[in-house]
Homo-oligomer: A and B are copies of this chain.
Amino acid sequence: MSKSNETHASLIQVSYCLFAEHGIAKTTYTMIAKEVGIAKPSIYYYFDSKDALIVGVFDELCKGIEFAAFFDLEQFTEDNFVESLIAIGAKMIDEQDKDPYFTRVLQEYMLLATRNQDFSKRLLALQRDYLSGFEALLEKASTLGLLRNKDNLTAKAHMLALILDNIGHFMMFDEQIDYKQIWIEAVYSLFTRDE
């Protein structure tokens, strides 16, 4: 990796952490430069403005978090459907547990998105990707005859998406809740199972 790429990556990485710790608006070039170990004006060689840096961090944040990165429709079969769904949710909860910065920074961008079309378009696309992903998943489950009830698949799919999403929000400042159990209950509530 060239020196240029190294510094670029370091700028993104450091900014990401500082955005989580102090918020985007209160993170300054002075703080970033100090942490990266370069002079403040050097940042302008990589990003024309603070806004450009904010976009750069967002680009990085969005990498590899689309629905398909976690859910592979093919892997779900009649025999493993419920278990797979629960396992993936548990995995996502673990990852958020390990990187508490992620949710915070994402929240920062969600708020930015309420005032900025570019961000709102991209976040909306991401959200829609998850909603339609869960819809496809439940359709497959329905075809396999695994659902307790086949009505309103769309609303049910959205419900799952909402729960998984909000677990992240809650985790930001309440560690005492059994999030995996909530996810299990949500999944069980839709699927038939021995009781």
> Chain A's interface: helix, strand, loop or mixed, by majority?
helix
Is A45 an interface position by the 8 A CB rule? no
Beta-carbon contact of A195 and B22 below 8 Å:
no
Beta-carbon contact of A195 and B158 below 8 Å:
no
Segment at the interface with B among A50-58, A84-92, A119-127:
A119-127
Q: How far is the CA of A162 from the CA of B165 in the complex (A)?
A: 9
Residues from chain B with Cβ under 8 Å of A177 in the complex: 131, 158
Q: What is the distance, in angstroms, from A130's C-beta to the closest C-beta of chain B?
A: 11
Is A172 an interface position by the 8 A CB rule? yes
- For window 78-107 of chain A, which residues contact chain B by CB distance below 8 Å? 104, 107
Assembly stoichiometry (copies)? 2
Q: What's the tally of chain A residues with a CB closer than 8 Å to chain B?
A: 47
Is A167 an interface position by the 8 A CB rule? yes
Whether A170 contacts B127 in the complex (CB less than 8 A), given A163-B162, A189-B190, comes out as: yes
Whether A22 contacts B162 in the complex (CB less than 8 A), given A124-B174, A178-B155, comes out as: no
Residues from chain B with Cβ under 8 Å of A127 in the complex: 170, 173-174
Segment at the interface with B among A34-42, A64-72, A110-118:
A110-118
Is A182 an interface position by the 8 A CB rule? yes
Q: How far is the CA of A114 from the CA of B104 in the complex (A)?
A: 8
Q: How far is the CA of A167 from the CA of B127 in the complex (A)?
A: 13
Beta-carbon contact of A172 and B115 below 8 Å:
no
Q: What is the distance, in angstroms, from A51's C-beta to the closest C-beta of chain B?
A: 13
Whether A169 contacts B165 in the complex (CB less than 8 A), given A25-B25, A104-B114, comes out as: yes
